[in-house]
Copies of this chain bind each other. A is one copy, B any other.
């Protein structure tokens, strides 16, 4: 961001300003920090967590091309993905909508029923909400509450340490070709990881690997070196297809495309590669003490990776 303008803009800048303004020092001292995937419902209590995600027609989906039941499913799944990122069990949801007046009653019902159906697959039914209508495009906002199982804490972003290994739960990039609508939230994997392997940090990749890894780095005050050869192994075939269409490198799509909704996991070095691979995880790099995100080539050469990705309010 340019120092010259004097007007910092963008979602991250707004969140920074709000964090400074909203959060009392007491609440920040213990528990889940402001800006993690989920917030503590009762700050400091370490019991219930909750999160909200809001999807907008024309931005997060396109009702001219996507079916309302697919849109409703996504609206729930993005929240379940936040639960996965903390390793907690979703419990119930609220659904608030502003429905475009052009929607039929059947479309409106399909939207909300599909969200509910998706939630129920992970034991998270819609229990209430707010229905509104207007002449502008449709908006759907879902809030989900969740809690950790009895024997562990939610996994935050701020525990990555030098020497930890960085893993992802699946291949990345090109989700715009369809996976951003049909992805499976990694709820069960998140709970398995939290309970069994105690990750030092975890996040779901919603705004791109580089940007979301940057969030872990920033919260943990560390840097990361990604391995060029390991990175090549996590490039999704959709990233390659998209690369053919737009001329960008497939690896850039894997690094910077949003809405993969895979988990990005930082594991202590004591966890064996066999164990991690046995859960379907793929290694991509290592945590270092110096800040910054780097890519290391086969000759040990390091090049910096920009922390860019999808950001609102620019």
Measured CB to CB, the residues of A under 8 A from B are 7-9, 11, 13-15, 17-18, 21-22, 24, 27, 34-36, 38-43, 48, 50-54, 56, 58-59, 91-92, 94-99, 101, 105, 108-109, 112-113, 116, 125-137, 139, 141, 143, 145, 312-314
Whole-angstrom CA separation of A8 from B141 in the bound complex: 25
A24 → B minimal CB distance (Å):
7
In the complex, which residues of chain B have a beta carbon less than 8 angstroms from the beta carbon of A314? Answer: 133
Per a CB cutoff under 8 Å, which of B27, B113, B137 touches A18? B113
Q: Interface SS of chain A: helix, strand, loop or mixed? A: mixed
Whole-angstrom CA separation of A84 from B48 in the bound complex: 22
Which 8 pairs, one residue from A and one from B, show the smallest C-beta to C-beta distance? A39-B128, A133-B313, A54-B96, A39-B127, A143-B143, A136-B136, A141-B141, A52-B94
A11-B59 contact given A18-B112, A41-B127, A92-B41, CB 8 Å threshold:
no
A94–B127 CB distance below 8 A: no
A130-B52 contact given A9-B105, A91-B42, CB 8 Å threshold:
yes
Whole-angstrom CA separation of A109 from B116 in the bound complex: 32
B56–A136 CB distance below 8 A: yes
In the complex, which residues of chain B have a beta carbon less than 8 angstroms from the beta carbon of A14? Answer: 105, 108-109, 131
A13 → B minimal CB distance (Å):
7
Whole-angstrom CA separation of A125 from B18 in the bound complex: 12
A132–B52 CB distance below 8 A: no
